Structure 1
């Protein structure tokens, strides 16, 4: 049993930090950022080929932290943020409305649902596919149902390539078990799977849908759309990240540099 490091998914931390987000029916924003940071460690484990997803998540968490640092009253909770941004935009034309915090939170939730569904399927683990293909099949299925509908074509293609480089399901499960802190009682695959399905994932899923409900109460969906210029800039950024990852991957294969190829993947 290893100890949990900064980049290890600590299951008790996930459970405790998401429970700490709750303030009645509201969600505290700084605590949310801390909890999400814990969950995002799973994306880090998937390696450099998922960099364009991981970096986007980290950037959005930083955006929420910056908003809270600049205005601790109006960005203390999700509900206060939504009400504040709605009031700031109520007299503006739709095209000029900006709901930075609410839009950022909505996009983070998309990635969060991907992680929730991915881990749910990993815990089930009852597939007819060969063991070395199981995680690839799970990740592809969950991605297609969640994040893919929000990603432009270059990102979807790059993720498809990244999925082929994922480790096995057994390797992922072993990594999670080894990452749990001493004294947690999570010593086996079965114990970790039970904790995830009975405690951690339910509280994260409940939190996620509660937060979305609070957003929808105050923010018109049209306010969450970016301008065409912003979308163009984001698309350029994604394309460059995808091309860089694919180029690195192709060059290492061409050069038969399998040592660095494994480091790129993991």
Structure 2
């Protein structure tokens, strides 16, 4: 009995260790106007939910999934609300997308659920920074109704040395680009050491988003004629090797691969997304992946333009 208890305790310690290192040292190097933004969002919603996508009658709007905590319909809605202007991403729907992705990961079992707790810690950092900025200027509007944050390439932007906060400063955490502008202007971002800046935190979430995008993309694939559908465990491991493994130590990579062994079988994902078979799963996940890709590409461009893809 004592041996069993020791073994169980060892497994628990490993799980907690894996979860904490996943983002702390894994996603790290150790383990134009409001109206224009609204029009852009409406265009994306129309593209993903109408016949414009393929020239025929478009797919139906995703319905809610009774009895499930994770809702693919909510995830898609948040993702479609995130793009703004020509090349920006609104942080409020971006973080809401992560809230839904966390529910998705939690549903996959305790191993992946522990990883999701680190995702929550990262989204909390950005939300706390936004809240702190709002407290500094209670009249600042940090929600989707803000008007004064301008997309890259326009005349307005953060101005250094002024006696008072510029509108962009007051709305620093409204979008990815406004956050980048203000944190660079304030000297919050450090290119040589670790800090809890919003930009550094966003980069960690950005890397994790690519992992999940590739996993869902592979899960949506149909079997080739005469072939078999690969297991979710195999697909998740492959997506991991192509993304997060590049930033993980040898030990973390081995522990992560052990975590994927416990991944549920494909039938579980049918129930999770409320579909009957692989064809229906593919239809839903393809739409989600396309929406993730739009958000990912915009974030990638903003980080790359500001030389932030390698923040320590």
| Superposed pair shares fold, TM > 0.5 | yes
Pairing partner for 1:67 from 118, 122, 129: 129
- Which structure's relative contact order is higher, taking Cα pairs within 8 Å and 6+ residues apart? 1
- Quick one: structure 1 residues 149 and 96, their matched pair in 2 at CA, closer, same or farther if it must change by over 3 Å? closer
Q: Which residue of 2 aligns with 1:191?
A: 280
Greater fraction of residues in helix: 1
Q: Name the SS of the counterpart of 2:192 in structure 1.
A: helix
Structure 2 gap segments, 5+ residues each: 1-63, 134-141, 143-170
CA distance in 1, matches of 2:84, 2:110: 36
Q: Which residue of 2 aligns with 1:89?
A: 187
CA displacement at 1:171 relative to structure 2: 2.2
Q: Which residue of 2 aligns with 1:3?
A: 66
TM-score for the superposition, normalised by structure 1: 0.70
Alignment of structure 1 residues 110-121 onto 2, 5 Å: 110-121=207-218
CA displacement at 1:153 relative to structure 2: 2.7
- Quick one: structure 1 residues 216 and 98, their matched pair in 2 at CA, closer, same or farther if it must change by over 3 Å? farther
- Quick one: structure 1 residues 176 and 165, their matched pair in 2 at CA, closer, same or farther if it must change by over 3 Å? same
CA distance in 2, matches of 1:203, 1:40: 17
Pairs aligned (count): 211
Q: Say whether residues 1:203 and 2:297 are aligned partners.
A: no
TM-score for the superposition, normalised by structure 2: 0.60
- Which 4+ runs in 1 deviate beyond 4 A? 96-99, 127-131, 186-189, 219-222
CA shift digits 1:195-220 (9 cap, x unpaired): 321x2211111111101211222344
Q: Name the SS of the counterpart of 1:105 in structure 2.
A: helix
- Quick one: structure 1 residues 47 and 94, their matched pair in 2 at CA, closer, same or farther if it must change by over 3 Å? closer
Q: Over aligned residue pairs, what C-alpha RMSD do you find?
A: 2.7
Q: Which residue of 2 aligns with 1:30?
A: 92
Q: Which residue of 1 aligns with 2:257?
A: 160
CA distance in 1, matches of 2:266, 2:104: 13
- Quick one: structure 1 residues 4 and 22, their matched pair in 2 at CA, closer, same or farther if it must change by over 3 Å? farther
Structure 1 gap segments, 5+ residues each: 178-185, 226-266
